Amino acid sequence: GEDVEQSLFLSVREGDSSVINCTYTDSSSTYLYWYKQEPGAGLQLLTYIFSNMDMKQDQRLTVLLNKKDKHLSLRIADTQTGDSAIYFCAERGNTGTASKLTFGTGTRLQVTL
Amino acid sequence: GAVVSQHPSWVICKSGTSVKIECRSLDFQATTMFWYRQFPKQSLMLMATSNEGSKATYEQGVEKDKFLINHASLTLSTLTVTSAHPEDSSFYICSARGGAGQNTGELFFGEGSRLTVL
């Protein structure tokens, strides 16, 4: 089946940029997503990218997609303490509107002062 | 934006009892809802996919008789954990697809429900 992998932990200083990486195996992925989960809460969609794009920017967030290498990254500029959370990447295969998302293992981002 | 609400947020129950968790899409019609289970410091594990008016599709290894899912309307899906045991203690999260997210496939998540079985 599909597999999505992420590094487990990232620590950055406030004001620096954070880069969270994700690799996936499904070559038929249509959309790829980044979700944020704060402690004890559900998931909040941050951004998504269609598979025929290689970059998407939304304010402090930049998503880069290397479809050939099946590598997705999320860059957070000027990281703030409020960005501390778990970040999940997810991919959606090409099996119609009922297709499910496969989530990565999550990367815990810790922002230090 | 699309809002999904879960209830209850926290539930503590005795072993052997059944617990029902509700998932509602508040401002859109959810044609498909998903139920996930999340263990501490782990990713989301998809339990089942439910489509309004039809039986849920369970993932491999998920007991359909233990985790009953009902999606009777386009705005409500319920997960009932029957005869709960301590190993069922977990964080259960629902998500819904529909409305503006129908084409892009994005899911809107509920706040999650933490179940503790004593």
- Contact indicator for B57, B48 with CB cutoff of 8 Å: yes
How far is Cα B97 from Cα B105, in angstroms, rounded to an integer? 7
pLDDT tens digit sequence for B1-37:
678 999 999 999 999 999 999 999 998 888 889 999 9
Please check whether residue A90 is in contact with residue A33, taking contact to mean a CB–CB distance below 8 angstroms.
yes
The encoded tokens of residue B47 equal 């339990």
Mean pLDDT of all residues in B92-107? 74
Residue B104 has pLDDT above 80, yes or no: no
**pLDDT for the residue A97:** 47
User: What pLDDT, on a 0 to 100 scale, did the predictor assign at position A81?
Assistant: 95
Please identify among residues 83-112 of chain A the ones whose CB lies closer than 8 Å to any CB of chain B: 88, 92, 97-101, 103-106, 108
pLDDT, tens digit (0-9, with 9 covering 90-100), for A12-53: 999 999 999 999 998 888 889 999 999 888 889 899 999 889
| pLDDT of A96 above 60 | no
CA dihedral A112→A24→B105→B51, nearest 10 degrees, is -110
CA distance B19 to A14: 42
Q: Give how far Cα B35 sits from Cα of A15, A27, B15, Å.
A: 37, 25, 22
Name the minimum distance, in Å, from the CA of B112 to any CA of chain A. 5
Nearest one of A6, A69, A14 to A35, comparing CA atoms:
A6
Asked if residue B38 has pLDDT above 60, the reply is yes
Q: Do B109 and A44 touch (CB under 8 A)?
A: yes
Interchain contact, B46 vs A100, CB within 8 Å = yes
pLDDT band at B66 (very low <50, low <70, confident <90, very high): very high
Q: What gap in Å lies between CA B76 and CA B68, rounded to an integer?
A: 14
Q: Given this model, what pLDDT does residue A95 score?
A: 59
